[in-house]
Amino acid sequence: MRLAPLPDRVVAVILNWNCADDTVRCLRAVAGGSTVPDVVIVDNGSTDGSVEKLERLDGPVTLLRLDRNLGYAGGMNAGIREAQARGADWVWLLNADSVPRPHALSTLLRHADRFEVSTSLQTTSVDPGDPDVEPYVVAAMLPKGKVRPVRCGGCAEGAHEVDMVTGAALLLRLARVIEVGLFDERFFHYKEEFDLVRRIGDAGGRIGFVCGSEVWHKRGGSLSGSSPRARYYYHRNEILYVRKHYPRPLRRLLVGEPIHYRNVARSLFRLAAGSRERRRASLAVLAGYWDGLRGVHGPTERF
């Protein structure tokens, strides 16, 4: 039941990939919120029986089934197109392993006249009931291209204008997304939200970190950040992002971001002297850098 009026129509998109239990938990949190949007669940080509579980859900929820895994970018794009077809003004993109607190959406919408894309304060732990949660940095300022994280555990102001947001829960004005283009599916997984938010900012859209809105995000959910495949995508897509957004990408990589030297040096050292697991992870990092420099994009099955 809708407990608070929506200033504009909102469609929430939850992306599922082999994690139906997480998706159902997220859906219940959304449905139990003080402001309840329409909900679209996109199944991203699951192979674990997720579809059968999700098809048994009661209530007004739409399930979109994709034939194969299109990554975060492609899966969310399918949900965004569905939201557009429904005449939505806003689309709320949620990872399946997130749990919005009851006032998360209503608090974001309270600042809707100020920001065209915004994210919530996010905490992470293994379980949403765990009192020992950790803050997750989802916002940053970018003075002269340098990343300066913005940290706030909640304040009287309730929101901050920033240069970049990311995270497991993004609220976007749909008209602006359509104007600048949807997620770039070449990224497949990681950095696609950086790219979209940057394009919105470059087009004049204001970007907000709403610390008064809270979302819990499962630690280790989705693709484990420590897995070789995740390491490959992360480092490859960092290079693809720089190639796309900086006029002199090699100068940016060689001069502006010395962390890449450390990443490569550490990987080479572990490749020579590390355990089998570390050697595999190091190969993924080095392959990511190499493929990024070559402009390789899309999904990989190498790791």
pLDDT digits (tens, 9 = 90+) for 152-163: 988 999 999 999
Going by C-beta distance under 8 Å and a sequence separation of 6 or more, which residues neighbour residue 204?
none
Is 117 within a domain? yes
Query: Is residue 24, in this structure, part of any structural domain at all?
Result: yes
The answer to the question of residue 142 being in a domain is yes
Containing structural domain, residue 251: 228-294
Contact 242, 249 (CB under 8 A): yes
- 208 and 267 both lie in a single domain: no
Q: Please report the pLDDT score of residue 31 as a whole number.
A: 95
- Tell me the C-alpha distance between 192 and 293, whole Å: 17
pLDDT of residue 2: 38
Give me the residue label for tokens 């006029």. Answer: 247
Does 38 share its domain with 158? yes
Looking at residue 3, what is its pLDDT? 39
Q: How far apart are CA 33 and CA 2, in angstroms?
A: 9
pLDDT band at 47 (very low <50, low <70, confident <90, very high): very high
Q: Is the pLDDT of residue 149 over 60?
A: yes
Mean pLDDT across the stretch 215-240? Answer: 83
Among 191, 218, 245, give the residue marking a domain's end: 218
Mean pLDDT over residues 78-90, rounded? 97
pLDDT confidence bin for 221, thresholds 50/70/90 = low
pLDDT of residue 232 exceeding 90:
yes
What does the pLDDT read at residue 147? Answer: 87
Which pLDDT belongs to residue 228? Answer: 93
Region 285-303: mean pLDDT is: 94
Please indicate, yes or no, if residue 4 is contained in any of the structural domains. Answer: no
pLDDT attached to residue 224: 59
Domain membership of residue 135 (yes or no) is yes
Give pLDDT tens digits for 105-116: 999 999 999 999
Asked whether residue 5 carries a pLDDT value surpassing 50, the answer given is no
- What pLDDT was estimated at residue 233? 95
Q: Do both 161 and 110 map to the same domain?
A: yes
User: Who wins on pLDDT, 137 or 186?
Assistant: 186
Q: What is the pLDDT, as a whole number, of residue 162?
A: 98
Whether residue 1 lies inside any domain: the answer is no
Higher pLDDT, 134 or 76: 76
* Number of structural domains the chain divides into: 2
What are 58-77's pLDDT values in tens digits?
888 999 999 999 999 999 99
Helices (H) and strands (E) in the chain, counts: 10, 13
User: According to the model, what pLDDT value does residue 1 have?
Assistant: 30
49 and 68 assigned to the same domain: yes
| Residues 130 and 80 occupy one common structural domain | yes
pLDDT averaged over every residue in the chain: 91
Q: Is residue 223, in this structure, part of any structural domain at all?
A: no
Residues 214, 233: one domain? Answer: no
Q: Residue 107's domain is classified under what CATH number?
A: 3.90.550.10
Task: For residues 164-184, give the mean pLDDT.
Answer: 96
DSSP string, 102-143: TTHHHHHHHTTTT-SEEEEEEEEESSTT-S--EEE--EEE-G
**262-276: pLDDT as tens digits:** 999 999 998 888 788
